[in-house]
Amino acid sequence: MAKALLLLELECPHCKRVLTKGEKVPLDAFLRDTHQDGQVSLSALFGDYTIETDLKIREGTIVEFRCPECEASLLLSLPCRMCGAPMASLNLTSGGYLEFCSRRGCKGHALGGVGDIDQMINLMNRMFETPYD
Ligand SMILES: [Zn+2]
Ligand SMILES: [Zn+2]
C-alpha cells in the first residue's frame, strides 16, 4: 500500500442515509459550552484527523454531533476511554461502525479509531473481511 487513501463511506445509524460527501463527512454540531449550532466536517480519509468547521471550538469542548439528514444525535452513552466524554458513532456502509470521541482535541476524536493499533487493525478487518454481495 504505497499511497493508501482509504475513503470511509459512512452512514447515519438512525436513518441509514450516506453522510460521506466526497472526502468529507459534514455533520450538524452543537457546542455544549457556548450553545452554538453549526456544522463540523470530518475527513472521510482513514487516519486523517483534520476537521473543517465554521464554529470556534476550543480545545476540550464537547461537540454534540447530529445527523444532518434526520437530526438524530450521534452520541452514545459510552464514554471515551481516553477522556470520558461521550463517544459518537457512525455506521460504515460496508458493515460495522466507527466510534469517535466528541471532545475536541482528544486523540479519540478523529475518524479512524483512538490511535490504538489494535482498534485500527480491528477496524481494517471489519472493513475488508465484510463480503460485498
Ligand atoms: Zn440520520
Ligand atoms: Zn476523548
The residues placing their C-beta within 5 Å of ligand 1, an ion, are 12, 14-15, 67, 69-70
Distance in Å, CA 102 to ligand 2 centroid = 7
| Whether the predicted model's global pTM rises above the 0.75 cut | yes
49 within a domain of the structure (yes/no): yes
48 within a domain of the structure (yes/no): yes
The total of structural domains in the chain comes to 1
Distance in Å, CA 33 to ligand 1 centroid = 24
Cα R_g (the chain), whole angstroms = 14
60 within a domain of the structure (yes/no): yes
- For 43-89, write each residue's pLDDT tens digit: 888 777 788 998 998 888 999 999 999 999 999 998 988 889 999 99
Can you tell me the distance from the alpha carbon of 67 to that of 27, in angstroms, rounded to the nearest whole number? 6
Can you tell me the distance from the alpha carbon of 79 to that of 16, in angstroms, rounded to the nearest whole number? 24
Domain span holding position 51: 19-128
Can you tell me the distance from the alpha carbon of 11 to that of 130, in angstroms, rounded to the nearest whole number? 16
